[in-house]
Chain A
Amino acid sequence: GNSVTQMEGPVTLSEEAFLTINCTYTATGYPSLFWYVQYPGEGLQLLLKATKADDKGSNKGFEATYRKETTSFHLEKGSVQVSDSAVYFCALLNSGGYQKVTFGTGTKLQVIP
């Protein structure tokens, strides 16, 4: 079956530090990969996506590259801000069939001034 594994949180960083949140996946076929972000008190929202191997998704300074050889989709940002404090979810959608997305358990990021 499909599964997504994320690094345990919380991750605490100082403002302007470099961020990496690790994500690996298991899936049959050729999944699409996503990062979602959940700010306190809100629902999840799509941050970025990649649909095939070697694609790079990017948005708001965040990036992630679809690495088929290592089955990974790590999230990175060069300089985090306090406003980036949130929970980040890695997710996959397998090709074909219905639109059921498999989410990871989420990684909480706290950025301190």
Chain B
Amino acid sequence: DAGVIQSPRHEVTEMGQEVTLRCKPISGHDYLFWYRQTMMRGLELLIYFNNNVPIDDSGMPEDRFSAKMPNASFSTLKIQPSEPRDSAVYFCASSSGGLLPGAQYFGPGTRLLVL
């Protein structure tokens, strides 16, 4: 398996622009997580899905952030409009609740810089 795939790997944009991050989880995994990592705030859970249904979005910082999972093999995290404080590394992770509970497989991350 190719592991969790994220795109783009790097994104530089200007304040006010829309940013869309993409994630393809490992086939067969029924959980998908979006995290944000910064030096100041560390690793933060933004939202997670179970069987494509959002379970907990309490970590989404504000209405500018939205996430979707239209099918089992694809998810997006959108920021509109983006702000400089959104600059961070965004990770997608997937897991299988049945096979190895708690073992999350992380993608390589998207490094976002908002100017």
Contact = CB atoms under 8 A, between A and B. Distances in A.
Contact of B91 (A41, A44, A49, A106): A44
A88 interface: no
Given A100-B45, A105-B42, A106-B42, A93 B102 contact: yes
A32 interface: yes
Nearest to A106: B42
Contacts of A41: 108
B23 to A, nearest CB: 11
A99 B100 CA distance: 10
For the side of the interface on B, what is the size category?
20 to 34
- The majority secondary structure among interface residues of chain A is strand
Interface stretch (B13-21, B48-56, B64-72, B73-81): B48-56
A79 B105 CA distance: 27
B28 interface: no
A89 interface: yes
B102 A98 contact: no
Contacts of A62: none
B109 interface: yes
Interface of A: 32, 34, 36, 41-46, 49, 89, 91-93, 98-101, 103, 105-106
Interface of B: 4, 31, 42-43, 45, 48, 50, 55-56, 91, 93, 95, 97, 101-109
A-B pairs with the 5 shortest C-beta distances?
Answer: A43-B106, A93-B102, A44-B106, A99-B31, A99-B97
